[in-house]
Structure 1
Amino acid sequence: MTTYSAEQPVRDDIDATTGPVVLAFGTNWCGYCVAAERVVAPALADHPDVPVVAVEDGKGRPLGRSYGVKLWPTLVFLKDGVEVDRVVRPTSRGPVDEGLAAITAAA
């Protein structure tokens, strides 16, 4: 199960990452986040080499605001610090797999 951390990475640090990264925004008590876990967790498990930064989001949380997050969970797929894809409230695995494929494909 994804555990969303109250620790907020700095946007500049995220922008400076290299390779694929998934930012997962949500909260540990969010019903939508818990429901989405059944499709998100297996997809992420198939890519153990892709770092996942699970960030607790909410009012006054700067990282989520900088990405324009409005609904949970929101998965932002980054490659070399640049957003390549985004999935909001996934109900099936397909969109999550597509986002992972977009950031793990060879250039």
Structure 2
Amino acid sequence: MISELYAVAQPTRAQIDALAGPALLEFGTGWCGHCRASHAPLASAYASHPGVPHLRVEDGPGRALGRSFRVKLWPTLIFLKDGQEVARLVRPLDSAEIDQAFALIDTTT
């Protein structure tokens, strides 16, 4: 199960780049309607990939991590493998589309 909360404390870009294996980096805010709308399809897709770490980071003006990934709209899902971006979805509402992106990074399924 994924959290509905976005972490205010952020990892550094160097920490993200150093990640080993698959990971999902999600940018958004708790008050964003688009973020809330994508929660159910993301949770549905994530259920098939529970071993993939999910970092949910609050974004906004002056937030260095979001700027380093050139995030413009929320939510933005960045699918990483060994710290490198493999896929990106912006404002996804289709769990099948999210699952396809997970399949690119999660080789255990």
* TM-score grouping bracket, smaller chain normalisation: over 0.9
Runs of 5+ consecutive residues of structure 1 not aligned to the other structure: none
* CA drift at 1:42: 1.2
1:21 to 6, 20, 23: 23
User: TM-score scaled to structure 2, two decimals?
Assistant: 0.93
Q: Report the 3-state secondary structure (helix = DSSP H, G, I; strand = E; otherwise coil) of the residue aligned with 1:96.
A: helix
1:102 maps to which residue? 104
2:86 maps to which residue? 84
Q: Report the 3-state secondary structure (helix = DSSP H, G, I; strand = E; otherwise coil) of the residue aligned with 2:40.
A: helix
* CA drift at 1:94: 1.9
Whole-Å Cα distance in 2 between the matches of residues 29 and 45 of structure 1? 24
Runs of 5+ consecutive residues of structure 2 not aligned to the other structure: none
| Counterpart residue identity of residue 21, structure 1 | A
- Identity value in percent: 53
Moved over 4 A (4+): none
Asked if the contact 1:2/1:41 (under 8 Å) is kept, the reply is: no
Equivalenced residues, count: 106
| Counterpart residue identity of residue 45, structure 2 | A
1:71 maps to which residue? 73
User: TM-score scaled to structure 1, two decimals?
Assistant: 0.95
